[in-house]
């Protein structure tokens, strides 16, 4: 049984609750255990994963970044993805479930386990990468 750490940037509670529900359901359906930690924002997600790298088998990054009126969206979306990708290239099994969307309606469809279930997809991606890590590691 793998130990998966869910790292969530909780800003939109109702959207994060949906992402978490899908993530947890997918991990539990696969027979693995999980814990959840919350960080201030999407930019802190890669740092938290790096800090916990030696304590868990895999990771799921969750959060919602909605485009606003300033350039901040591009920085947060790009840099959080870059940080997660760098950790993945270093050999960590990570599923990226940080939604980067234009509006809340898009986020709701993607977060809802009954619709696009991006939390569940991120969990499945982390588990698939974990399998590859074990196969090639």
- Binding site members for 5-amino-6-(D-ribitylamino)uracil: 11, 42-44, 64-66, 96
Q: Which of 53, 56, 17 is nearest to 35 (CA)?
A: 56
Marked catalytic residue, from 14, 32, 55, 72: 72
Other C-beta atoms lying within 10 Å of the C-beta of residue 109? 14
Which residues carry a binding-site annotation for (2S)-2-hydroxy-3-oxobutyl phosphate? 69-70, 110
Other C-beta atoms lying within 10 Å of the C-beta of residue 67? 14
For the question of residue 32 being annotated catalytic, the response is no
* Dist CA 65 CA 73 (whole Å): 7
Q: Which helix (H) or strand (E) holds 119?
A: helix 118-136
Which residues carry a binding-site annotation? 11, 42-44, 64-66, 69-70, 96, 110
Active-site amino acid positions: 72
């Amino acid at each position: 049984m793998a130990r998966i750490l869910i790292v969530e940037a909780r800003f939109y509670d109702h959207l994060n609750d949906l992402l978490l529900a899908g993530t947890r359901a997918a991990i539990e359906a696969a027979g693995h255990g999980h814990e959840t930690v919350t960080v201030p924002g999407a930019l802190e997600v890669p740092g938290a994963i790096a800090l916990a790298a030696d304590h868990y088998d895999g990771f799921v990054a969750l959060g919602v970044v909605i485009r606003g009126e300033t350039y901040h969206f591009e920085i947060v979306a790009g840099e959080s993805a870059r940080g997660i990708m760098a950790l993945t290239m270093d050999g960590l099994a990570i599923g990226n479930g940080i939604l980067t969307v234009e509006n809340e309606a898009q986020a709701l469809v993607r977060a809802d386990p009954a619709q696009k279930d991006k939390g569940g997809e991120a969990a499945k991606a982390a588990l698939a990468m974990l399998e590859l890590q074990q196969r090639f590691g």
